[in-house]
A and B are shown apart, each in its own frame.
Chain A
């Protein structure tokens, strides 16, 4: 089946620094990718929709200047957490839509961010 890969799987950073997380569709093209955040013992919360070649669409309450999303190619979307703080520590998950095939969604393995 289709594969979506995230990198890094785990990252630890100091407060105030920026962290970039990559989401790649390995064997299909994805004009749309989605970024979710998941806190411990909670469900996934959609943060934003990443659109190739255009601006991302953010969900209500998500700061677009805090969580920068770039979708520069049909196989790569990046999420940059800027000026990270301990409360940004979370599990970040992306999903990608295989528009060229079934239009179905596939999820990445997730990236665990810990901000010290």
Chain B
């Protein structure tokens, strides 16, 4: 899996948008960008993933640059419950077992403040 780089921590005010960046300059053409988050003492939770186009679901939006070397996860209206460690991972979607062996980096600790 391609290496990703994320800032170690970020703060955000409740109700404001949280924009979490991720660099993945060595991403391969068949690798997707996945975002997971881990709330303290829980298992990781899937948020969103994308290949080239921007994606949006009920939790977040994912903006991927045209060269695919970086992406931004956007939580449009952050709440206190969004405080968690956010992991950006690049991997092959579905498919072979090798693509399922996730390598977690250090992630970004997002703290949403009242």
Contact = CB atoms under 8 A, between A and B. Distances in A.
Contact of A43 (B46, B100, B106): B106
Interface in B30-73: 36, 38, 41-46
A115 B97 CA distance: 32
A107 B95 CA distance: 17
Contact of B105 (A32, A43, A49): A43
B41 A95 contact: no
Given A91-B41, A110-B42, A43 B104 contact: yes
A88 to B, nearest CB: 18
Is the interface on chain B under 10, 10 to 19, 20 to 34, or 35 or more residues?
A: 20 to 34
Contacts, number: 56
A34 interface: yes
Query: B104, B106, B107: which has the most chain A beta carbons within 10 Å?
Result: B104
Interface of B: 36, 38, 41-46, 87, 93-95, 97, 100-107
5 contacts: A34-B100, A36-B104, A43-B106, A49-B101, A104-B46
